[in-house]
Amino acid sequence: MSREGRLLVIKSVHTLIWLFYNVVIFYLLFAVIINKIDIWVWICIGLVVLEGLVLLAFKMFCPLTIIARKYSDSTKANFDIFLPDWLAKYNKLIYTSIFGIAIMILVYRITHP
């Protein structure tokens, strides 16, 4: 497979994982807003924490980004994923903020039944 083909596969997988985590984070936010604290809320938190640990282990880079770097010399933030450049650049900040808001709402829901 060519370099471009390998990069395309990585970008596709990376985008699918990103979409999955969007569902996870927005389900978490929705669930705490409507006060539906169930097992799925805790699974979502576990998944996001696991993702955070992976990022910490790889010095705040997704392992797919590191692999994709072998197949591209691009300096764009979105060279390894099908996202607009601005979203790829600020992805961690945006989604960490949404996650933090969801956790704050969850703490409030738990402490104020």
Q: Which two tokens stand for residue 104?
A: 């704050």
Query: How large is the average pLDDT for residues 11-31?
Result: 98
Boundaries of domain holding 92: 3-111
Checking if the pLDDT of 11 tops 90, the result is yes
Question: Which two three-digit tokens encode residue 58?
Answer: 């790889």
Q: How many domains does the chain have?
A: 1
Where does the pLDDT of residue 113 fall: very low under 50, low under 70, confident under 90, or very high at 90 and above? confident
Cα 52 from Cα 26, distance rounded (Å): 16
Task: Centre a 10 Å sphere on the Cβ of residue 48 and count the other Cβ atoms it contains.
Answer: 20
Alpha-carbon distance of 64 to 16, in angstroms, equals 12
Question: What Cα–Cα distance (Å) separates residue 22 from each residue in 15, 35, 76?
Answer: 10, 19, 22
* Mean local confidence (pLDDT), 2-30: 97
Dig out the tokens for 25 from the structure.
């984070």
Percent of the chain at pLDDT exceeding 90? 98
Q: Calculate the average pLDDT of the chain.
A: 97
pLDDT at 8: 97
Count CA within 13 A, CB hemisphere, residue 95: 22
Burial of 10 (0-12, 13-18, 19+ CB in 10 A): buried
pLDDT band at 72 (very low <50, low <70, confident <90, very high): very high
